[in-house]
């Protein structure tokens, strides 16, 4: 169920692939929407760790355009609700994530991303 929160933290880690290796591009995805408990503190704690543009673009790829292009200064309720939905309620169940740089593709199956590398891909 790769959620966008997780997706925002994962970069390609193939040996030598160190630039333009994030964000991974979703492909052939199957999505499920599932409600999660709203927790404003959690969101606020996490905000500084997010790569905003990657989040907005990836949400758009999955059909959600509720987030502003620039991270707002004021965290009002509506913004937090949208952020909550994007980060935690969109689940990618099947498909894959491809590195924009080396094109390595990480499969997602039953909601579990497989980020394992083969022995010739590790540093």
Partner 1 sequence: MSKYLVVFAQAHQEFRVPELESVAQLYNFKISLSDEPEERDPSRPFMIIELESENHVRLLAKRCILIKSIYEFYGRGSTYEVLHLRNRAKRHMWERYIPETSFKFIVAAYNHKIPQHRQKEVVESFAYMGFMGKIDMKTPEITLGCFEEYATRNGQTRERHEGDGDFLQVYFGRLIEEGTARPLVQLFDVKKRSYFGNTSMEAEISLLMANQTLACSGKLIYDPFMGTGSMAYPVAYFGAQVMGSDIDGRQMRGKQTTPGVFRAASQYGVASRIIDICTFDVTNNPWRCGGLFDAIVTDPPYGVRAGAKRLGRKKELDADRLALYHEHRTNPRPDDSPYIPPTRPYELSDLAVDLVLLARYLLKPGGRLVFFLPTVTDQYEEVDIYTMLCDGMEVIANSLQDFGSWGRRLVTIRKVTSELYPPPDFSIRDSEAQDETQRVPAHRHFREKYFQGFKKAEEVEAENLSHLP
Selection from Zn ion, partner 1, none that 17 binds (CB < 5 to 8 A by kind) is Zn ion
Q: Residue 56 to residues 8, 38, 66, 111, 114: CA-CA distances in angstroms?
A: 10, 20, 9, 21, 23
By the rule CB under 8 A, 45 interacts with partner 1: yes
Give min distance, CB of 86 to partner 1, in A: 14
- Pick between residue 17 and residue 59 the one whose CB is nearest to Zn ion: 17
By the rule CB under 8 A, 83 interacts with partner 1: no
The residues facing 98 across adjacent strands are 25, 105
Selection from Zn ion, partner 1, none that 117 binds (CB < 5 to 8 A by kind) is partner 1
The residues facing 95 across adjacent strands are 108
Q: Are 36 and 26 in contact (CB under 8 A)?
A: no
| CB-based burial, 47-77: b 16+ in 10 Å, e otherwise | eeebeeebbbebbeebebeebeeebeeeeee
Selection from Zn ion, partner 1, none that 96 binds (CB < 5 to 8 A by kind) is partner 1
**SS3 (DSSP) at 35:** coil
Of residues 5-24, those binding partner 1 (CB under 8 A): 5-6, 8-13, 22
Binding region for partner 1 (CB under 8 A): 1-3, 5-6, 8-13, 22, 34-37, 39, 41-42, 45-46, 49, 51, 88, 96, 105, 107, 109-120, 122-123
């Amino acid at each position: 169920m790769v959620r966008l929160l997780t997706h925002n933290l994962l970069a390609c880690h193939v040996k030598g692939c160190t630039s333009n290796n994030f964000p991974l591009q979703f492909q052939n995805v199957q999505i499920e929407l599932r409600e999660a408990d709203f927790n404003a503190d959690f969101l606020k704690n996490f905000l500084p760790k997010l790569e905003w543009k990657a989040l907005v673009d990836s949400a758009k790829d999955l059909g959600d355009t509720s987030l502003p292009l620039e991270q707002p200064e004021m965290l009002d309720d509506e913004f937090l609700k949208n952020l909550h939905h994007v980060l935690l309620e969109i689940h990618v169940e099947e498909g894959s994530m491809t590195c924009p740089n080396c094109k390595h593709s990480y499969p997602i199956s039953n909601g579990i991303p497989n980020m394992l590398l083969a022995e010739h891909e590790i540093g």
